[in-house]
């Protein structure tokens, strides 16, 4: 038996075709062995022949999805009068529908059990929509938006469904090659789709009075419908209900997978017969699903060049037809490379090394493209960039291998990862604005940074899975126990140190789920809450009311007795707490000028820093002195006392907080007029003629919102150490009380530094340099913590790490500065960024498994990598905003020369 390699979740076994169990045969008979091997070979040949239709479907899936980029070269934008970010929105809206439908679709497919009917029916629908798109697009942005959304909604069924179908027929060491053949469909679609488009766009202009780009949709949509009808008679269902299998073949297909599951199952007693809801829950509570989703999102964002490949080809200066023809060779070459790489990946039972190699080739391509506009070098760079898709194919095979059973969990996991990863496509649609062309250096830099982070995250996963393999080797039946996640969010950390987990009988990943569920509610409520606050106009009532509710919920957490109660209370606490932070940022932005926001944001955000310090001290006092009082455990008193304090402060806040400048009751008329005029002079209008929905749409369609959201997500992930600060303090070997007390000094020091940093940032009107400086200090702290367990050095590293919170405060001020008006857009932007960024906290809850302690080197490495990426993203944004400022300087200079008086607001960089 071969030893396991990095990048595989459990030990692979040598495939031995002579050991397939069929009841009708005697396994010891040589003739029976030969008969079994022959039958299995025939079964695989029959399956492979029929499964090839999936490749054809995937080609058409991608062609129907990406034909808009080819149509752009032949007047698509001009005919529809698209302006600004509208074209990018038309591209990205497809993935919104794509994300929404994937998980429900795969769960439904697992339940209905008829892929041969379900997948072709979905294909017919998207083919019809695509064929009608030429007419639906007509002359409006709205028609284009609706058609693209519903194409994505229906197309969502195919790819995760195809991966799930493959995983229901093939063994683990057979999945990689079949996944490769399937994914080659997307690569070939980029090649042949461009060739087909060049022929249609070159020869169909004006036929029957229709533009060539409309014919592109008519022809490709009709072709999709024809193939869907054929697929109904070709595709298999699942092994137990496929009609064209003989009884022997059906039994062989089932027994092959049963043997594969038995050989690789983590828990021999685990049932594979679970409901769809249970399977979904199992997927949601497995941290590897979220980790794979994060990697896939970054990988797809790094590969966003594929969406704009014809545009990049056109930068070499050729006409439309030649530019489209030149798109084909890189994708054909990548298809061949992907096939070879995936074949070797299966043969060598390794994943990570192949992903890293192909992504590194892509990085080299980005560097070449950033350095020169030479035609030859530029074209070579396109070949190298396209190689990242070969790595993505290996990644998909790795993903399928990592969730072998039960089928319901596998279906949910694959769909969930693939759905969340489409956020990369949504963001990627805004990464290539025409103002960055023809060099697109900023776009290349973004993709390069994402590729580096993908390699780092895959390396971490490979190390983790290798450790699981080693553990499996040591245990008698190959079973292994997943590493349990260590302490979490704020006072729950302290509560766990005093028996919280034991009293509620939490097991496995349940404690981690209790931590992360808060951020689900937090994410869901932020945008609606801020839009409601802008509409209501009464922060002095709304924010304290929310505060009272979460204080009551906190008290109720103290009386909970089980996992379900803790889960519900945490979810609703997050749901209500979501109103506060984005609401406060919005309130500050409605009162203060740009150079005043940083200091005020620092004062507010210092509350979170002080909570880490004083919260630990308060917790140490309560946990030390309240154990057993009135028959309650000390951790319950922690919730009672702190929840009651929250309610008391909320009541006081009702009489203290202001509303907005125009309706605050305790302002004199002169003060009110001054407050309004100050903001008007600063370029931040107080009047709001924009509805909440219009403001939300303006925020969603502004790529800077998504960029800030991703940057904030990366930053919160890099700061995930703060969730586990008491645990890191405890690694120095002190008892609970001392460990909690030692948490305070780093946060107190950071609070002082954050105040000074924000003050200077406002005074100098600069943001990026202060963010980069504080992040660099934190990176130094991570390096020290990785290199040594010396107590003094370890404690010093905690001081360094916490400095990144000072940078986060400046980042929040920068974010508020960048969306001045209208207020409805500002409210939606702040809430959207803060809401999406909480994904960093969700993922961060799983980045510190106890199996990596007490050194937590892998955890520190993750935080260090994400901090470096955050600096890179902020640098790109600062360059973009500086370029906008220079453009406004030029426009104002021209206006003054023409005798016009004009003054535009400048961005802080």
Q: Which of the two residues, 11 and 662, has the higher pLDDT score? A: 662
Residue 13: what pLDDT?
30
Residue 627: what pLDDT?
76
Q: Is the pLDDT of residue 72 over 70?
A: no
Segment among 112-116, 319-323, 804-808 with least mean pLDDT: 319-323
Residue 271: what pLDDT?
43
Residue 11: what pLDDT?
31
Q: What is the DSSP string of 402-422?
A: T--S-HHHHHHHHHHHHHHHT
Residue 601: what pLDDT?
63
Segment among 200-209, 358-367, 660-669 with least mean pLDDT: 200-209
First to last CA, the chain: 59
126-152 pLDDT, tens digit each: 888 877 776 654 566 777 777 778 888
Residue 66: what pLDDT?
63
Percent of the chain with pLDDT over 90: 0
DSSP-based three-state secondary structure for 312: helix
Residue 90: what pLDDT?
76
Q: Is the pLDDT of residue 247 over 80?
A: yes
327-344 pLDDT, tens digit each: 778 877 887 887 788 777
263-299 pLDDT, tens digit each: 444 433 344 456 667 777 777 888 888 888 888 888 8
Let me know: does 635 contact 542? Beta carbons within 8 Å. Answer: no
Q: Is the pLDDT of residue 692 over 70?
A: no
Tell me the range of 32-36, 676-680, 896-900 where mean pLDDT is highest.
676-680
Residue 496: what pLDDT?
43
23-34 burial: b if 16+ Cβ within 10 Å, else e? eebeeeeeeebe
For 634-642, what is the mean pLDDT? 81
What's the length of the chain?
909
Residue 409: what pLDDT?
74
Q: Is the pLDDT of residue 198 over 70?
A: no
Q: How confident is the prediction for the chain on average, in pLDDT?
A: 75
Return contacts of 379-386, CB within 8 angstroms, 24+ apart.
Answer: 379/316, 379/326, 382/309, 382/312, 382/313, 382/330, 383/329, 383/330, 383/333, 383/334, 385/305, 385/330, 385/447, 386/187, 386/190, 386/306, 386/330, 386/331, 386/333, 386/334, 386/362
Residue 487: what pLDDT?
31
Q: Is the pLDDT of residue 25 over 50?
A: no
Percent of the chain with pLDDT over 70: 75
Q: Is the pLDDT of residue 256 over 60?
A: yes
For 751-762, what is the mean pLDDT? 78
Q: Is the pLDDT of residue 1 over 70?
A: no
Segment among 309-323, 466-480, 755-769 with least mean pLDDT: 466-480
């Amino acid at each position: 038996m071969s030893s396991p390699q990095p990048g595989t979740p459990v030990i692979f076994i040598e495939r031995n075709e002579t050991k397939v169990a069929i009841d009708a045969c005697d396994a010891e008979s040589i003739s029976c062995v030969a008969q079994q091997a022959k039958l299995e070979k025939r079964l695989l040949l029959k399956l492979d022949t029929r499964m090839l239709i999936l490749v054809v479907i995937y080609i058409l899936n991608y062609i129907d999805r990406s034909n808009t980029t080819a149509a752009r070269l032949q007047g698509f934008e001009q005919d529809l009068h698209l302006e600004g970010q509208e074209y990018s929105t038309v591209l990205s809206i497809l993935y919104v529908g794509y994300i929404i439908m994937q998980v429900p679709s795969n769960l439904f497919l697992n339940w209905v059990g008829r892929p041969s009917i379900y997948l072709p029916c979905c294909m017919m629908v998207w083919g019809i929509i695509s064929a009608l798109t030429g007419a639906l697009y007509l002359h409006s942005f709205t028609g284009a938006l609706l058609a693209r959304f519903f194409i994505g909604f229906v197309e969502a069924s195919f790819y995760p469904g195809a991966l799930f179908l493959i995983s229901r027929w093939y063994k683990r060491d057979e999945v990689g090659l079949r996944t490769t053949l399937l994914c080659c469909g997307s690569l070939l679609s980029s090649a042949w789709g461009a060739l087909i488009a060049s022929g249609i766009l070159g020869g169909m202009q004006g036929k029957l009075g229709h533009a060539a780009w409309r014919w592109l949709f008519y022809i490709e949509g009709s072709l999709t419908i024809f193939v869907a009808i054929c697929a109904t008679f070709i595709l298999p269902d699942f092994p137990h209900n496929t009609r064209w299998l003989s009884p022997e073949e059906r039994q062989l297909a089932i027994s092959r997978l049963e043997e594969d599951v038995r050989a690789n199952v983590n828990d021999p007693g685990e049932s594979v017969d679970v409901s769809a809801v249970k399977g979904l829950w199992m997927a949601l509570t497995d941290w590897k699903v979220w980790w794979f989703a994060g990697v896939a999102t970054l990988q797809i964002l790094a590969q966003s060049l594929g969406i704009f490949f014809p545009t990049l080809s056109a930068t070499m200066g050729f006409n439309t037809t030649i530019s489209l023809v030149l798109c084909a060779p890189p994708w054909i070459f990548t298809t061949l490379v992907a096939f070879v790489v995936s074949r070797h990946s299966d043969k060598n039972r390794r994943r990570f090394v192949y992903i890293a190699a192909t992504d590194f080739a892509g990085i080299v391509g980005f560097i070449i493209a950033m350095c020169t506009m030479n035609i030859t070098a530029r074209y070579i760079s396109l070949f190298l960039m396209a190689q990242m898709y070969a790595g993505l194919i290996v990644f998909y095979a790795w993903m399928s291998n990592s969730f072998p059973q039960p089928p319901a969990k596998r279906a949910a996991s694959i769909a969930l990862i693939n759905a969340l990863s489409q956020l990369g496509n949504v963001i990627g649609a805004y990464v290539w604005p025409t103002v960055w062309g023809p060099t697109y250096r900023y776009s290349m830099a973004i993709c390069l940074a994402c590729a580096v982070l993908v390699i780092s995250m895959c390396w971490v996963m490979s190390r983790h899975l290798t450790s699981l393999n080693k553990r499996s080797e040591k245990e008698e039946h190959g079973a292994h126990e997943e590493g349990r996640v260590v302490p979490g969010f704020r006072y729950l950390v302290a509560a766990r140190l005093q028996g919280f987990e034991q009293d509620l009988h939490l097991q496995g990943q349940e404690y981690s789920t209790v931590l992360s569920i808060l951020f689900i509610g937090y994410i869901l409520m932020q945008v609606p809450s801020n839009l409601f606050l802008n509409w209501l106009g009464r922060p002095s009532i709304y924010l304290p009311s929310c505060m009272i509710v979460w204080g009551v919920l906190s008290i109720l957490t103290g009386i909970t007795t089980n996992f379900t109660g803790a889960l519900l209370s945490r979810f609703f606490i997050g749901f209500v707490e979501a109103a506060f932070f984005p609401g406060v940022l919005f309130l500050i932005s409605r009162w203060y000028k740009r150079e005043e926001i940083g200091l005020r944001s620092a004062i507010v955000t210092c509350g979170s820093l002080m909570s880490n310090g004083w919260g630990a001290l308060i917790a140490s006092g309560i946990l030390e002195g309240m154990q057993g009082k009135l028959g309650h455990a000390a951790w319950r008193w922690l919730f009672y006392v702190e929840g009651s304090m929250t309610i008391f402060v909320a009541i006081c806040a009702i009489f203290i907080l202001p509303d907005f400048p125009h309706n605050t009751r305790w302002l004199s008329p002169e003060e009110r007029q001054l407050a309004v005029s100050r903001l008007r002079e600063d370029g931040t209008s107080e009047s709001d003629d924009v509805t909440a929905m219009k403001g939300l749409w303006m925020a969603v369609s502004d790529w800077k919102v998504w960029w800030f959201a991703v940057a904030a997500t990366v930053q919160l992930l890099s700061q995930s150490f703060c969730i586990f600060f008491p645990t890191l303090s405890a690694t120095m070997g002190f008892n609970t009380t001392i460990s909690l007390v030692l948490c305070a000094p780093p946060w107190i020091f950071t609070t002082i530094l954050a105040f000074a940093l924000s003050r200077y940032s406002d005074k100098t009107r600069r943001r990026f340099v202060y963010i980069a400086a504080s992040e660099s200090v934190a990176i130094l702290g991570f390096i020290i913590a990785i290199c040594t367990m010396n107590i003094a050095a370890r404690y010093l590293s905690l001081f360094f790490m916490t400095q990144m919170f000072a940078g986060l405060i400046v980042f929040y001020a920068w974010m508020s500065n960048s969306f001045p008006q209208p207020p409805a857009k500002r409210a939606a932007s702040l809430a959207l960024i803060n809401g999406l960024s909480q994904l960093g906290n969700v993922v961060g809850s799983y980045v510190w498994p106890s199996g990596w302690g007490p050194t937590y080197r892998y955890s520190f490495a993750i935080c260090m990598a994400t901090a470096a990426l955050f600096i890179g993203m902020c640098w790109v944004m600062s360059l973009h905003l500086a370029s906008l400022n220079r453009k406004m300087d030029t426009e104002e200079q021209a206006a003054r020369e023409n005798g016009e008086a004009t003054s535009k607001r400048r961005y802080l960089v």
